[in-house]
């Protein structure tokens, strides 16, 4: 099927302009600015083959008057829980939530059961996604204290990166041996995406507050989270990772930055394509602060912890001044009974968010904190640049037609009844949003339209120009 998306307002590469877009054979065949060519007539009106193909009678016309067309969001940081934890989520359900939120490509983390720490297990996940995912996909290989031989086998043209847990994780995925860390940074064939929290300090704080809870000095409530997973714990680990990257010339991407202090570690004076050390943050670190634990309780418990208001302010400034390079959801679903245990030490960290990450960011556009082109830069362009993704992340002729149509005047209340993630809840429930994704295209196929999914077409494996 070919598509003609007419009367759209495109947001792309720092510009906002009216145009129509032809989609043919899975690619963006032609972008015609409003001033250049009127609505097409029958027959060839352009010499380019792709443009002529888009004129055929099989073309479906979508009138996007009043809507904004953007490149599909590339979410570099998700936990879709498959294999082994599919009672929480799976690739099929979470890719539905993704495309409903305008996310056309995702990169999934290795802390599943079994953990994705060998090339064979990595390939098994790619095979699962080929059968189940509506969105495009890639998967990280997980580093451990004893799998460097697997890490060096990774094909940088076919795999998004190596995931490194420098903070506590499940099983044996915490990498805390100095010689192993240095070897990993020296020999990794592709980008290292790091979770940075100092495990020793976190364990010390956990023991301290556990004892205080037992002695009834404090309650075992959610507000303990930033007191245990502190700003210092983040900075100690992030600075260590940066030192290793500088020493070895590795490409390091520090995930889910949550503190003002960590921003000192990054640069904004060189183009992203030339940076070796980069930073990601997430919408929830911009939306919430430690005061929100009183009302939100365990629903906003995540790792790293949501912290004091000053950090939220600094992170927004970091986006505006180029110290932060990408925004990802860190979508990490758990069932309600795993979150609402009433006990800090048993409540799971993480929550579902991929369906709402774009619309949450667009609230700051409405409030004047960010521009729409800035949001597109952080969520679409920059992940494509940073990961060197082949022909995605931009509205360019010849690129894969991964597209999202957004209505900025679609006020709605987030309701669990409309959640497509398997766990069917999100901390954003009962919050008012003012934008909504109405259509999502993946590889030129319409996969989502106003609450309806078209499941006959599946996403593709991402490829990287490295």
CATH number of the domain where residue 374 is located: 3.20.20.140
Instruction: Determine contact, residues 76/193, Cβ cutoff 8 Å.
Output: yes
Domain count of the fold of the chain? 2
What is residue 284's predicted lDDT score, i.e. its pLDDT?
98
Cis, bond preceding 304 (omega within 30 deg of 0): yes
What is residue 171's predicted lDDT score, i.e. its pLDDT?
53
Residue 128 above 70 pLDDT? yes
Alpha carbon distance 327, 320 (integer Å): 12
In-domain check, residue 465 = no
In-domain check, residue 229 = yes
What is residue 167's predicted lDDT score, i.e. its pLDDT?
72
Residues 345 and 198 in one domain: yes
What is residue 130's predicted lDDT score, i.e. its pLDDT?
98
- By C-alpha distance, which of 236, 113, 120 is closest to 176? 236
Residues 27 and 43 in one domain: yes
Residues 345 and 447 in one domain: no
Interval 318-328: pLDDT, tens: 999 999 999 99
In-domain check, residue 460 = no
Confidence at 43, pLDDT banded by 50, 70, 90: very low
In-domain check, residue 139 = yes
Residues 197 and 276 in one domain: yes
DSSP for 93-136 reads: HHHHHHHHTTEEEEEE-S-SSS-S-SHHHHHHHHHHHHHH-SSE
Residues 138 and 231 in one domain: yes
Residues 315 and 352 in one domain: yes
What's the CATH number where 404 sits? 2.30.40.10
Name the pTM for this structure: 0.95
Residues 230 and 166 in one domain: yes
In-domain check, residue 422 = no
- Look at residues 358, 387, 416 and tell me which one is the last residue of a structural domain: 387
Confidence at 34, pLDDT banded by 50, 70, 90: confident
Give, for 317, the enclosing helix (H) or strand (E). Answer: helix 309-321
Interval 130-172: pLDDT, tens: 999 999 999 999 999 999 999 999 999 999 999 999 976 555 6
Helix (H, G, I), strand (E, B) or coil at 142: strand
Residues 99 and 194 in one domain: yes
Confidence at 45, pLDDT banded by 50, 70, 90: very low
Neighbour count for residue 244 (Cβ, 10 Å): 21
In-domain check, residue 418 = no
Cis, bond preceding 45 (omega within 30 deg of 0): no
Burial of 144: CB neighbours in 10 Å, binned 0-12, 13-18, 19+: buried
What is residue 1's predicted lDDT score, i.e. its pLDDT?
87
Six-digit token string for 320: 């505006």
Instruction: Determine contact, residues 175/145, Cβ cutoff 8 Å.
Output: yes
Six-digit token string for 65: 């008057």
In-domain check, residue 42 = yes
Residues 9 and 100 in one domain: no
What is residue 35's predicted lDDT score, i.e. its pLDDT?
72
Residues 47 and 81 in one domain: no
Residues 85 and 18 in one domain: no
Instruction: Determine contact, residues 79/423, Cβ cutoff 8 Å.
Output: no
What is residue 52's predicted lDDT score, i.e. its pLDDT?
55
Alpha carbon distance 168, 203 (integer Å): 9
In-domain check, residue 423 = no
Residue 46 above 90 pLDDT? no
Residue 50 above 70 pLDDT? no
Residues 79 and 42 in one domain: no
Confidence at 243, pLDDT banded by 50, 70, 90: very high
DSSP structure class, residue 347: S
- Look at residues 387, 418, 445 and tell me which one is the last residue of a structural domain: 387
Which residues form the domain of 192?
72-387
- CA distances in angstroms from 176 to 144, 182, 248, listed in the order given: 9, 10, 17
């Amino acid at each position: 099927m070919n598509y003609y998306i007419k009367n759209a307002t495109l947001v792309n590469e720092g510009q906002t302009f009216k145009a129509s877009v032809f989609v043919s054979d899975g690619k963006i065949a032609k972008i015609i600015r409003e001033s250049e060519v009127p609505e097409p007539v029958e027959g060839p009106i352009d010499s380019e083959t792709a443009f002529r193909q888009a004129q055929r009678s099989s073309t479906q016309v979508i009138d996007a008057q009043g809507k904004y067309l953007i490149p599909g969001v590339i979410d570099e940081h998700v936990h879709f829980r498959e294999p082994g934890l599919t009672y929480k989520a799976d690739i099929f359900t979470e890719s539905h939530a993704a495309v409903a939120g305008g996310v056309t490509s995702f990169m999934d983390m290795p802390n599943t059961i079994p953990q994705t720490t060998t090339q064979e297990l990595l390939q098994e996940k790619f095979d699962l996604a080929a059968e189940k995912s509506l969105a495009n996909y890639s998967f990280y290989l997980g580093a451990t204290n004893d799998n460097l031989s697997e890490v060096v086998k990774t094909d940088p043209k076919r795999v998004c990166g190596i995931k490194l847990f420098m903070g506590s994780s499940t099983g044996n995925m915490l990498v805390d041996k100095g010689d192993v860390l240095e070897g990993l940074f020296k020999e990794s064939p592709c980008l290292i995406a790091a979770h940075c929290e100092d495990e020793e300090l976190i364990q010390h704080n956990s023991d301290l507050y556990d004892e205080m809870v037992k002695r009834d000095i404090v309650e075992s409530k959610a507000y303990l989270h930033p007191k245990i997973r502190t700003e210092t714990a983040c900075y100690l680990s992030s600075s260590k990772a940066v030192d290793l990257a500088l020493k070895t010339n590795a490409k390091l991407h520090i995930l889910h930055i949550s503190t003002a202090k960590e921003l000192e570690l990054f640069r904004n004076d060189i183009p992203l394509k030339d940076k070796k050390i980069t930073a990601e943050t997430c919408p929830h670190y911009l939306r919430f602060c430690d005061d929100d634990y009183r009302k939100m309780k365990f629903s906003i418990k995540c790792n790293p912890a949501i912290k004091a208001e000053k950090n939220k302010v600094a992170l927004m400034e970091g986006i505006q001044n180029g110290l932060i390079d990408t925004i990802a959801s860190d979508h990490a679903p758990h069932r309600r009974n795993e979150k609402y245990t009433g006990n800090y030490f048993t409540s799971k960290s993480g929550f579902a968010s991929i369906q709402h990450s774009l619309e949450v960011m667009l609230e700051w556009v409405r409030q004047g904190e960010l521009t729409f082109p800035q949001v597109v830069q952080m969520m679409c362009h920059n992940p494509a640049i940073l990961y060197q993704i082949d022909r995605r992340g931009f509205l360019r002729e010849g690129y894969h037609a991964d597209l999202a149509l957004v209505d900025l005047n679609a006020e709605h209340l987030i309701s669990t009844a409309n959640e497509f993630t398997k766990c069917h809840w999100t901390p954003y429930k009962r919050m008012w949003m003012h934008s909504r994704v109405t259509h999502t295209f993946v590889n030129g196929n319409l996969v989502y339209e106003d609450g309806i999914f078209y499941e006959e077409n599946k996403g593709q494996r991402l490829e990287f120009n490295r």
